[in-house]
C-alpha cells in the first residue's frame, strides 16, 4: 500500500523530503511490484481485501455496469468491481506502472470470465470520455498523486452524473491509543519489514500518509471537484478512510 522515495536521479531537482516526482513514483512501483501483494498481507494481517470489498460496495454498481479503477496496481479492487458488474458489465483498471499492470493481468487471467481489462494511463490525464463510467474508484493510490485535485477531478469527469467516486485511503488516527500504535507501526515496523524484504521502499509510506488530507479536508476537495452527497466511514480503528461522493447532476 505504500512505498518510499528513492533518491532523486542525478541532475534532477530534489523534491521536498517524502515528496516524489511522478517519474519517481512510477519507478518505485515498478521496482516493488513483485513484492507488493505479500507486503500488503503482512502489513494489514490480510485485512486489505476486506477494505477493498467495502470500497467496491460503496461504488453501488449494478450488474451490467461500467467501472474504472484508477491506480489499480495489481488489480485487486478492479476484480472486486468486476464481481459486482458481472459478465454483462465492464471494468477497466488503469495504472502508470507497467509491472503492476502485468501482475494485474496475470491475476485476472486466473479468474475466468471476469469482465476486466488493464490499460496504462496516468490518473492525472485519463484517456476516457466524459461520463463514460457508472463509478470510479481509487484504492491506496490517491496519496501518491502529484496533484490530488486533478486526479480526483479526472475521476469525477469520467463518471456519469449521479454515478459514484470512491476513495479508499490510509488516514492518520487522531486519538490514542491508535495514534500511538500508528506511529509505532508506520514509522518503525513497516519500514523495518521493507528492509527485511530488501527494499527501502516502505519508508515512504508514513510520510505519504501524513501529507494526505484528513477525512474532512478530503471531503472538501471532493465537493470542490463537483461531487455531492459526500460521506465517509473510518474503519480499522480510524486508520482506514472510505470516502464516497456522487457526481453532481446538471
Ligand atoms: C499503493 S499502490 C495501490 C494499488 C491498488 N490500487 C491497491 O488497492 O492495492 C498505488 C498505485 O498507484 C499508482 N499510481 C500512482 N500515481 C499514479 C498516477 N498518477 N497515474 C497512474 N497510476 C498511479 C502506482 O503505480 C501504484 O500502482
Ligand 1 atom at minimal distance to the Cα of residue 121: 21
The single residue listed with the C-alpha cell 476537495 is 221
Q: Using DSSP bridges, classify how beta strands 66-70 and 133-139 pair: parallel, antiparallel or unpaired.
A: parallel
User: For the whole model, what pTM was predicted?
Assistant: 0.89
Average pLDDT over residues 74-96: 97
CB 227 within 8 A of CB 210: no
Reported confidence tier of residue 1, pLDDT bands at 50, 70, 90: low
Q: Which of these CATH numbers, 3.55.50.30, 3.40.50.1220, 3.40.50.150, 1.10.357.10, describes 22-247?
A: 3.40.50.150
Position 4 pLDDT exceeds 60: no
DSSP 8-state secondary structure symbol assigned to residue 114: -
The DSSP H or E segment spanning 219 is helix 215-224
* pLDDT tens readout for residues 126-181: 999 999 999 999 999 999 999 999 999 999 999 999 999 999 999 987 777 777 77
Taking residue 49's Cβ as centre, other Cβ atoms within 10 Å add up to: 13
**What is the position in ligand 1's atom list of the atom closest to the CA of 122?**
20
Strand partners, 246: 164, 228
Q: Tell whether the model's pLDDT for residue 29 goes beyond 50.
A: yes
250 CA distance to ligand 1 middle (Å): 31
Helix residue ranges per DSSP H, 86-203 = 98-109, 148-157, 178-184, 190-196
Predicted confidence band of residue 199 (pLDDT cuts 50, 70, 90): low
* CB 122 near ligand 1, within 6 Å: yes
Ligand 1 atom index nearest CA of 26 = 25
Q: Whose CA is nearest to atom 15 of ligand 1?
A: 144
User: Would you list the domain boundaries of the chain?
Assistant: 22-247
Q: Above pLDDT 90, what percent of the chain?
A: 64
- Within 45-147, where are the H helices? 48-58, 76-85, 98-109
145 lines ligand 1 (CB under 6 A): yes
Kindly indicate the confidence band of residue 196, based on its pLDDT and cuts at 50, 70 and 90.
low
Question: How many residues are listed for the chain in this entry?
Answer: 250
Amino acid at each position: 500500500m505504500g512505498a518510499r522515495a528513492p533518491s532523486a536521479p542525478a541532475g534532477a531537482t530534489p523534491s521536498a523530503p517524502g515528496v516524489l516526482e511522478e517519474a519517481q513514483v512510477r519507478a518505485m512501483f515498478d521496482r516493488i511490484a513483485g513484492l507488493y501483494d505479500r507486503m500488503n498481507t503482512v502489513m494489514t494481517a490480510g485485512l486489505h481485501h476486506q477494505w477493498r470489498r467495502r470500497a467496491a460496495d460503496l461504488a453501488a454498481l449494478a450488474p451490467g455496469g461500467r467501472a474504472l479503477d484508477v491506480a489499480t496496481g495489481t488489480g485487486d479492487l478492479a476484480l472486486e468491481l468486476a464481481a459486482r458488474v458481472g459478465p454483462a458489465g465492464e471494468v477497466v483498471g488503469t495504472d502508470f506502472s507497467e509491472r503492476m499492470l502485468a501482475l494485474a493481468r496475470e491475476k485476472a487471467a486466473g479468474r475466468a470470465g471476469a469482465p476486466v481489462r488493464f490499460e496504462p494511463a496516468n490518473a492525472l490525464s485519463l484517456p476516457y470520455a466524459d461520463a463514460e463510467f457508472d463509478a470510479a474508484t481509487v484504492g491506496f493510490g490517491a496519496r501518491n498523486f502529484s496533484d490530488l485535485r486533478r486526479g480526483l477531478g479526472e475521476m469525477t469527469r469520467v463518471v456519469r452524473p449521479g454515478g459514484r467516486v470512491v476513495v479508499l485511503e490510509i488516514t492518520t488516527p487522531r486519538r490514542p491509543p491508535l495514534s500511538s500504535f500508528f506511529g509505532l507501526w508506520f514509522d518503525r515496523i513497516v519500514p523495518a519489514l521493507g528492509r527485511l524484504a530488501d527494499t527501502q521502499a516502505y519508508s515512504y509510506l508514513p510520510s505519504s500518509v501524513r501529507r494526505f488530507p484528513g477525512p474532512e479536508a478530503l471531503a472538501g476537495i471532493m465537493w470542490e471537484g463537483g461531487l455531492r452527497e459526500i460521506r465517509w466511514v473510518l474503519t480499522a480503528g480510524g486508520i482506514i478512510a472510505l470516502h464516497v461522493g456522487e457526481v453532481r447532476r446538471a
